[in-house]
Structures are given as structure tokens and as C-alpha cells.
Amino acid sequence: MKKAVIILLSSILATASGCSAAVPKQAETSSVQADKTVIFKDQGLDAQIREAIKRPTGEIHKKDLKTLTELIASKRNITDLSGVEDLTNLKKINLNDNPIKDIKPLADLANLEELYLTRFALMDAKNRNEFSDLTPLAKLNHLTVLEINSSLKDLTPLKDLTNLKKLSLFWNEISDISALQGLTQLTELNLSGNKINDIDALAGLTNLTSLDLYDNDISDIRALKGLTQLKTLRLSSNKIADISALQSLKNLTKLELTNNKIRSTDIEALSKALPNCTISSSSQHPAPALAPAPASASASKSPTAPPSPDKQEISSKSAPNKWEAVFNPVMVSLNAKYFNNNVDEIYGEIKNYTKKDWNYVEITLNLYDENNKQVGKAYSKIAGKISPNKVVKFTSEGGGLSYLKAKKYELASVSPM
């Protein structure tokens, strides 16, 4: 009997000893993780992280990143996101205007709610982000806002991100949008500047209040008939002829239909059906603006940019009356700076001729070579209150357009909000 008791006590003591040893081991593991050194290989990213956590020098440990829930790292020339995978408490990250090459480090940011990966300065093939695979985002199901422009074609990884409310995929290479049909919580969707011709997948997105399909290959818009919550709809620069499906969209306050194949009688009928909607519908597009030849050059039917290698300021041949017929607001002036004979920066002024205040204006400019072939686009954004009759200056964001070798330019669209 005594022997049995001794054996039992020994067993209990051994078990207790094992348990007591396990606790400090777990604590030790947790401590090691907290003390883990995190390295951000990209200098721009490293500098922004240090600024955010107020640690200008020395090693960065994972515990230093614990309280970081928001990171604004736009315009830092970041190419490598290594180290971001340790920012596990991030809810918002802004990486706009960085030439990102790989987004795999974002895959572990399970708490992320807002992700911005756009490049506004120049929307052309040479300036977009360099990734095309969205698979790292497939499990970020807390995302409510996602903005990306790159060389995207396959949207399949986004199909389960059903908490998305705002999705912006402008200026990619997207033709198939079927993966979006289940994202029924979306209220804002921007698919402008892609290669889309079939929009049937949008038919069930009945919570949409803003939809941008500018500059695609769309001809059939019957899928929009049931999107009755829409307030803003942008369909300019497509192949649309039949707009009867839009007559049911009674909540529309702004509709853009410029540069399509629509008859004026159909526009008149739509205007009557939507009396509270401002419709921009003229298909008369201003001709590309040519830079005048320098005074020293001989007269020519095809003026060229100045020969000087220095950046120069040259006014374009403005045509405000033509723009007034197409756009609202009116372009007051449109000018350019040149570098090595090529358009390097475009700037000008717009005036609010409506009776409403604007909080935001987006301007799109087309760029052409000497043979009128489009070589790229430039964008400009104006944020801040723009009251009626106020004149506001703008410039193409970023500048440095000269590598596109553009000789001519034109205003493509002006979108006030």
C-alpha cells in the first residue's frame, strides 16, 4: 500500500513539475517574438516606419510596432514591402504613388480595413505598379476600402472580400469583372480606364451610389437598370448608343455620357425622365492642343515644341468655347511646360459655373505623339471647397511627362464632386 502511495505521489509531482516548466517556456517564446528584430529593406519604408513609431535610430523590434494601426507612406519611392508582414495590427495603409513590385508581405495583415495602392501622377504602362497578382489579398476579409492601379487582369482573388464598400480599380487591364458580382456591400466602384465590354456582373450590386465606367469598351448598359441607388454615374468614352436603361435611375444627380454614340433626341428624353440629374452628353471633343512653334522657327502647318533642352513654359492654343460646350466646369486656360521638345507638365485653370460648391475635382488629360497616336494620360486632382464662379489652378500631378515623348495634349474629362 505504501509503495502504491509513493508511486502515485511521484507521478503527481512529475506531472506538476512538467506543467510548471511549460509556463515559463511559453512566456519565453512570447518574449522572444516581442523582441524579434524587424528589418525594412526599403529605405523609404524604413524611414516612414521610424517616423510613425518615433524611433529615428536603432533596431526596430516587433513590440515597437504593436501600437501602429495606421501607416501613411505615399510618395516614398518604395519598391520593397519586406517587413510589412510584422505590422499585424494595421487597419489602414496608404502606399499611393510608390513603384511597388510585390505585395506578398500584405497577406498577413488580417486586421487591415483600408488599403491604397494607386499611382496618380501618370497613368501609363511605364508608371503603374509592377505587380499583377492579387492573391495575397484574398484572405483580407476585413477590407472595406481597396484602391489599386497596376497591370491587373484577374480579379478572382477579390471575390470573397464581401465587406468591401469602396473599390477603385481604375487604369488597369481588366476585361472580366465577373469576380465582383458577389460584392453586394459596395457603395462606390471605379473601373475607369480598363478594357471592359460586359458589365452584367454589376446587375446585383444594388447598394452602389457611385459608379465610374469611363474609358472602356461598353455598348450594352442594360445591367444598370436596377441600380436605383446610384447618384453619380460616369459612362463617357465608351460605345454606348442605347441609354433607355438609365430612365429608371431616379436618384441620379450627375451623369456623364460624353464621347459615345447617343442621339440628341435620346438625351432629351432622358433629361425629361431624370429632371434632377445634371447630364453631360456632348460628343464634340476638343482637338488636341498643339504647342506653338518658337519665334525663331520658320512657319509650319505642323507646329512643334521648342528646340531648347531646358524646360520652358509654352501656352497652348486654348479653346474655352469648345470646352464650354463639352465640360462643366469650363476650362479657362490650358498650358504646358516642355523638356527636350516633349510635353513635361500640363497646367491651367477651371471655373465653377454651377450654383453648387464642389469639394473635389478630377481632371484627365490625353497625351499624343506627333502622329496623333495616344501615348499616355495625365491626371490632376483638386481638393478643397470650390464655390460658384471661383477660378482654381491645377497642374498634372508629379510632372515629368517628357519621357512619353508627347507633342500634343487635350482635356479628356473634368469630374467635379
Look at residue 373 in the predicted model and tell me its pLDDT. 84
**Whether the Cβ atoms of residue 305 and residue 342 lie closer than 8 Å to each other:** yes
Look at residue 372 in the predicted model and tell me its pLDDT. 84
Do both 83 and 189 map to the same domain?
yes
Interacting residues of 164 by C-beta distance below 8 A, sequence separation 6+: 143, 144, 145, 146, 158, 183, 185, 186
Do both 67 and 141 map to the same domain?
yes
> Has residue 114 been placed in a domain?
yes
> Has residue 396 been placed in a domain?
yes
> Has residue 61 been placed in a domain?
yes
- CATH number for the domain spanning 325: value is 2.60.40
Do both 150 and 274 map to the same domain?
yes
d(CA 334, CA 319): 9
User: Amino acid identity of 162?
Assistant: T
Do both 271 and 315 map to the same domain?
no
| Structural domain of 187 | 43-280
Look at residue 364 in the predicted model and tell me its pLDDT. 81
> Has residue 71 been placed in a domain?
yes
CA dihedral 174, 411, 254, 158 (to 10 degrees): 20
Do both 261 and 309 map to the same domain?
no
> Has residue 290 been placed in a domain?
no
User: Please, what's the b/e burial string for 357-394 (b: 16 or more CB within 10 A of its CB; e: otherwise)?
Assistant: ebeebbbbbbbbeeeeeebbbbbbebeeebeeeeebeb
**Whether the Cβ atoms of residue 329 and residue 351 lie closer than 8 Å to each other:** yes
Q: What are the residue ranges in the chain where pLDDT is below 50?
A: 2, 5-6, 8-9, 12-13, 15-21, 23, 27, 29, 121-126, 283-326
Look at residue 404 in the predicted model and tell me its pLDDT. 75
Secondary structure letter of residue 30 according to DSSP: H
User: Please, what's the b/e burial string for 113-124 (b: 16 or more CB within 10 A of its CB; e: otherwise)?
Assistant: bbbbbbbbbbbb
Interacting residues of 355 by C-beta distance below 8 A, sequence separation 6+: 388
> Has residue 8 been placed in a domain?
no
d(CA 253, CA 232): 6
Do both 47 and 161 map to the same domain?
yes
Q: Is the entire prediction scored with pTM above 0.75?
A: no
Do both 229 and 320 map to the same domain?
no
Look at residue 258 in the predicted model and tell me its pLDDT. 83
228, 245, 280 — which closes off a domain?
A: 280
Among left, alpha and beta (phi > 0; psi -120 to 50; other), residue 97 is: left
Do both 194 and 316 map to the same domain?
no
Do both 315 and 275 map to the same domain?
no
Look at residue 299 in the predicted model and tell me its pLDDT. 26
Look at residue 193 in the predicted model and tell me its pLDDT. 85
Q: Report the candidate in 398, 408, 195 with the shortest Cα–Cα distance to residue 287.
A: 408
245, 280, 315 — which closes off a domain?
A: 280
**Pairing mode, strands 145-148 and 114-117:** parallel
Element containing residue 43 per DSSP (H, E): helix 43-53
> Has residue 3 been placed in a domain?
no
Look at residue 331 in the predicted model and tell me its pLDDT. 67
Look at residue 412 in the predicted model and tell me its pLDDT. 77
d(CA 315, CA 348): 10
- CATH number for the domain spanning 143: value is 3.80.10.10
Grid cell 487591415 in the structure block, residue = 112
Grid cell 517556456 in the structure block, residue = 25
Task: Give me the number of domains the chain comprises.
Answer: 2
Do both 105 and 228 map to the same domain?
yes
> Has residue 288 been placed in a domain?
no
Q: Is 284 exposed, middle or buried (0-12, 13-18, 19+ CB in 10 A)?
A: exposed
Look at residue 360 in the predicted model and tell me its pLDDT. 73
Q: Report the candidate in 248, 253, 247, 217 with the shortest Cα–Cα distance to residue 235.
A: 217
Do both 209 and 316 map to the same domain?
no
Prior bond to 24 cis, omega within 30?
no
Do both 405 and 316 map to the same domain?
yes
